Chain A
Amino acid sequence: MGGECVLSDSGQEAPRNTWFLQGWKASRMFLIKGSVAGGAVYLVYDQELLGPSDKSQAALQKAGEVVPPAVYQFSQYVCQQTGLQIPQLPAPPKIYFPVRDSWNAGIMTVMSALSVAPSKAREYSKEGWEYVKARTK
């Protein structure tokens, strides 16, 4: 049995080669974590996700084209391996709601109402005053 023996706190002998094993385990865990974190950083750098806005837009568009078929193929693979049958959901209804047109129409309606508000208020108040005068006679 090689290695010097050193007394530990409990008074029992602890060989020095255990220190090396513990250090090796700690450094191995650090290497694994560092590899994972470094790989994530390199992936972000390689795909230019934190770069100019047009590169990010292209990456988002590419992800939108790639992810749904990949998810579908993975679900098919899981179904084949496990024998489960995923029920086919009906297609979601396509709702066409042009937000920009609605917003523009709303803005124009509000602004036209505000522009005619003084003259309309004057007209209604005049009619109300005529009505009250007619009723009090």
Chain B
Amino acid sequence: MSESELGRKWDRCLADAVVKIGTGFGLGIVFSLTFFKRRMWPLAFGSGMGLGMAYSNCQHDFQAPYLLHGKYVKEQEQ
């Protein structure tokens, strides 16, 4: 694995962790306010779930170095 590829993986992992922890925290806030009477445990639960999902994604990404991350490109009509 080249250093540039390693750097891209780390960037992807950090961005993924930020998004997933933030999403879990946000969902925890919503459910705490709507159903759980403003308790703190939904926030902790959501943040923890987001962190765990991000860690799992990073682990798969680093342990499977031969998978390519492609993206869909629309075919241009001739």
Contact = CB atoms under 8 A, between A and B. Distances in A.
A92 to B, nearest CB: 21
B62 to A, nearest CB: 11
Contacts of B54: 53
B13 interface: yes
Interface residues of B, number: 25
The contact size tier of chain A is 10 to 19
Contacts of B19: 49, 56-57, 59-60
6 contacts: A44-B27, A50-B53, A53-B12, A54-B71, A60-B15, A61-B15
Given A53-B12, A53-B58, A56-B15, 7 more contacts: A40-B27, A49-B19, A50-B53, A53-B15, A54-B69, A60-B18, A61-B15
B30 interface: yes
A40 B7 CA distance: 33
A41 interface: yes
Would you list the 7 A-B pairs with minimal beta carbon distance, nearest first? Answer: A53-B16, A56-B19, A33-B34, A57-B15, A56-B16, A49-B23, A40-B30
A36 B33 CA distance: 10
Given A44-B23, A49-B23, A37 B31 contact: yes
Given A44-B23, A50-B53, A57-B16, A37 B58 contact: no
A18 to B, nearest CB: 25
B35 interface: yes
A83 interface: no
A52 interface: yes
Interface string B44-77: 0000001001100110010000000101000000
